[in-house]
Chains A and B, each alone.
Chain A
Amino acid sequence: MSEEVFLKLEGVKKSFGGVHALRGVDLEIRKGEIHCLAGENGCGKSTLIKAISGVHNPDEGSIWIDGEKVENMKPMDAINRGIQVIYQDFAVFPNLTVAENIALNGELKNKTKFVNWKQIHEVAEKAMAQVGADIDPDVKLERLSVANKQMVAICRAIINDAKLLILDEPTTALTAREVDKLWDIIRSLKAKGIAIMIVNHKLDEIYRIADRLTILRNGTYISSGDISEYDQERFTRDMTGKDITEEKYMPEPGSEEVLRVEHLSRKGAFENVSFSLHKGDVLGITGLLGSGRGEIGEALFGLSPADSGKIVLNGKEISIKSVSDAMANEIGYVPEDRLTQGLFMQRSIQDNTIAASIRQYMKHGRLDKKGMEDTTNYWIKELGIKAPSPKPAVRTLSGGNAQKVVIAKWLNTHPKLFILDGPTVGVDVGAKAEIHSILHDLAKKGIGIIIISDDLPELVQNCNKILVMKEGKVSGMMDNSIDERTLGNMLVGSSDRGGEKA
């Protein structure tokens, strides 16, 4: 690794209408290094990317690219200087072919007026060969998987001699295997001397890929250094400003059975799934994408009901054929994609909080406004939602706070069984710990908690029972004495063939 600095930021400040998004950020990215930028949601990571890529110009502070101080940079200037950003949604065109998606930006940069399709194909093939991608160049992007779309975005970024590649949370939608492949590509780009900046806040992933790390908090630069200088404790402390030590969840063994599932099956999704949950238990369900892990949650909540099997909740056998069955049996469910399935983003915190329990507030044909507001205030306080009042729209909240609103919505229905699919996806470390401790408290009160997740450290830390799914079948049931690595191997190891098929 050369010590030559490609990008340097000093004291960069940016505010939007009085809100300080960046309050003085220093950053140094060297040529041919993989640099992780970490920080909780709302720490200013996105604004920083926009400052580097010329979308926003900083109010104060200076940016040097390749030793040259730049001012009033426009997005095109940043691209011309070799800075390429791969956004979370990849910013690709679903209606255009792979080849065109890869080559279009280059054509645009060269200000060509006419399109030479032969050249577009050549450029695309060359770029794909560079990263080792094998995708039909004539297929439209809408038909590609997330991982392949990302591949296209990477190909597009590198064709115009990129010198710095910025990836914004590249792993959120990828399976473990796809993440591995991505890291391989990133390393090969690094070997070509390209500097890489990855925005990420998953510590285990950062350890695997990064050379150096910079941490931001509340728009302020906190620390920076070699990855070896950071252990879990320092990382969390720098991220959150607090000492958070999460210990493994170890409930007292309970005797009361909360939930028993026997031989649950749904054709094409999972078969013969059995498990039981006692008072105090937090059950984790994991597996690769398509292993049936999410489908079990959907079946228990009646979204796509099971074909056969028995569900016993608090000693009573229940039949769940629809969401209303599930709700009548006091089951709550936090979907994986809270933005589209769990929340009304435009509506207030209050509207969202009482959304699943609105009938409680119907009095003499009118809604009890006061009651709804009191309830919402109660949950805001109880769950530590950072909001001044029940009024703001949920879209104004950070990921962690939005997730707490989803949880509040279900807790307000007083569920007996609470299923959470990916409860902390896109939630930062601090809020994550808070959500976990809420769940533990609920479990101790005798509410059945099921966490469905592919975040293995999260499961090991927070579940005292873990159910591993593979190709629709239960492949193991263990307690949390298992370590992440072994668990990871169980998921990935022998299921390679299954993955290829899909």
Chain B
Amino acid sequence: MKRNNDWKLTLTSTPMILIYVMAVFCIIAAIRQPAFLSPATLVNLCRAGIFTMCFAICEMVVIISGGIDVSFPAIGCVAMYVPMYMYNNGMGVDNVFFFFGVAMLAGLIFGVLNGFLVSYLKLPPLIATLATSSVASGGLIMLLGTREFTTLPPSLEALYSINLLTFVDPNTGFNYPLTILILVPIILCLVMAYVMRYTMLGRGLYAIGGDSNAARIAGFNVRKLQFIAYIFCGVMASATAMIYTTLMHSSTTTALMGEEMIIIAACVVGGCRLTGGHGGVGGTVLGVLLITLVENNLNMLGIPTSWQTFAVGLVLLLGAVLSSVQAKRISKMGKI
């Protein structure tokens, strides 16, 4: 009975299938377009994946805890807009910590609101965060208008120009700089991987996502854990939004709106179950990689970029089918 057919399970598990799909994608891309193998691709991929990765980790924590947060793009917009607005209206100082501080404070406020709605008022998380999303986004436009800030304050501009390394393409002479901000998702992933696996906080999030009643009986503070999940999501998403502004040189009230679906999809493709309790950093990273790869490198396969949404849709479909098939397989596998 002990661990006999586990290797078979491992080879056909969701993460492995994602790796196969990515490998096939890369091989085809490399055959059609040898330039794909250039380090430039990797640098571009990393740059493109920074926000997706950070947002996905935020969302993953909430999904694992048994909830869902569709408000983080709206919260992020508030977080990126308010500090820029303050700066451009003569309030606040030109300091990286000020910008990120204000952003994360905004995230904290909305995170607390989400946590309160879900854990104290027991609203369904989807409804609660939808409401928060509208309140945040609508309130922002109502109070502060809809300007677009495209010039960064000097301190953020300085942050923007710090690069870890710069790859110079020997053929074209183009520069491909890799921003230091790539460290944020990397560190975030490492820290969260540790937290989710090796701390009682992380295990508690899995526990309440698996069965919140059982968690309560076992002595977990379910409310506190839910609060932590939504606050983490709000604060971290806000910091990510500030990174977005820094890298994109843009801050608007709607820049991130609509991101939630692709992020939730990346989590689900990576093995998070919307019912909670399942998933992890490893799978989520793979989900994000796959989606980023497809989003940014379709032209390498010779597919027109106008097909991008369609192709991403196909990837999501793959993820959804995969997770449902896997769940069915496990439930059919026979009880032991």
Contacts and interface: CB of A to CB of B under 8 A. Distances in A.
A96 B64 CA distance: 12
A136 B197 contact: no
Contact of A93 (B197, B211, B330, B336): B211
A176 interface: no
B200 A109 contact: no
Contact of B215 (A85, A93, A100, A114): A93
A144 interface: yes
Contact of A115 (B198, B213, B220): B198
A106 to B, nearest CB: 10
A461 interface: no
Contacts of B2: 136
Contacts, number: 84
Contacts of A143: 330, 333, 335-336
Contact of A95 (B200, B201, B218, B277): B277
B211 A94 contact: yes
B194 to A, nearest CB: 9
A136 B206 contact: no
B336 A104 contact: no
B217 A115 contact: no
Most chain B CB atoms below 10 A, which of A89, A105, A134, A142: A142
A108 B214 contact: no
Interface string B194-223: 000111111100110111011101111000
B1 interface: yes
Nearest to A107: B200
Interface residues of B, number: 30
Interface string A10-53: 00000000000000000000000000000000000000000000
A394 B250 CA distance: 57
Contacts of B203: 96, 100, 104, 107, 115
Interface string B261-299: 000000000000000111000000000000000000000
Contacts of B215: 93
B276 to A, nearest CB: 8
Given A94-B277, A136-B336, A114 B213 contact: no
A92 interface: yes
Given A96-B207, A138-B3, A108 B219 contact: yes
Given A136-B3, A144-B336, A148-B335, A75 B217 contact: yes
A244 interface: no
Given A100-B203, A136-B336, A143-B335, A108 B1 contact: no
Nearest to A93: B210
A145 interface: yes
- Interface residues of A toward B: which range? 35 or more
A79 B220 CA distance: 13
Nearest to A74: B219
Given A95-B206, A100-B203, A139 B214 contact: no
A105 B207 contact: no
Contact of A96 (B200, B206, B219): B206
Contacts of B276: 95
B218 A91 contact: yes
A110 B152 CA distance: 50
Interface in B56-82: none
Nearest to A90: B214
B331 interface: yes
Nearest to A153: B214
Contacts of B333: 143
Nearest to A75: B219
B170 to A, nearest CB: 47
A87 interface: yes
A113 interface: yes
A76 interface: yes
A145 B336 contact: yes
Contacts of B214: 89-93
B204 to A, nearest CB: 8
A146 B336 CA distance: 9
Contact of B330 (A85, A100, A107, A142): A142
SS class, residues of chain B in contact with chain A: helix
A486 interface: no
A85 B203 CA distance: 22
A113 B206 contact: no
Contacts of A90: 214
Contacts of A105: 218-219
A112 interface: yes
A259 B20 CA distance: 58
A227 interface: no
Nearest to A55: B217
Contacts of B197: 115
A104 B207 contact: yes
B73 to A, nearest CB: 28
Nearest to B333: A143
Interface string A70-99: 000001100100000101011111111000
A113 B215 CA distance: 16
Contacts of A75: 217, 219
Given A104-B207, A142-B331, A115 B219 contact: no
Contacts of B331: 142
B218 A108 contact: yes
Interface string B21-38: 000000000000000000
A135 interface: yes
Interface string A99-131: 010001101110011110100000000000000
Nearest to A79: B219
Contacts of B198: 114-115, 117
A353 B335 CA distance: 36
A137 to B, nearest CB: 9
Given A107-B200, A109-B219, A91 B335 contact: no
A53 B199 CA distance: 27
A78 to B, nearest CB: 11
A144 B211 contact: no
A142 B330 CA distance: 8
Interface string A141-169: 01111101000000000000000000000
Contacts of B207: 93, 96, 104
Interface in B1-57: 1-3
Contacts of B209: 95
Contacts of B278: 95
Contacts of A115: 197-200, 202-203
Contact of B218 (A104, A136, A138, A144): A104
Contacts of B220: 108
Those 3 A-B pairs whose CB atoms lie nearest each other, nearest first: A95-B277, A95-B210, A91-B214
30 contacts: A75-B219, A90-B214, A91-B213, A91-B218, A93-B206, A93-B214, A93-B277, A94-B210, A94-B277, A95-B206, A95-B277, A95-B278, A96-B203, A104-B207, A104-B218, A105-B218, A107-B200, A108-B218, A113-B199, A113-B201, A114-B198, A114-B199, A115-B200, A136-B2, A136-B336, A138-B3, A139-B336, A142-B331, A143-B330, A145-B336
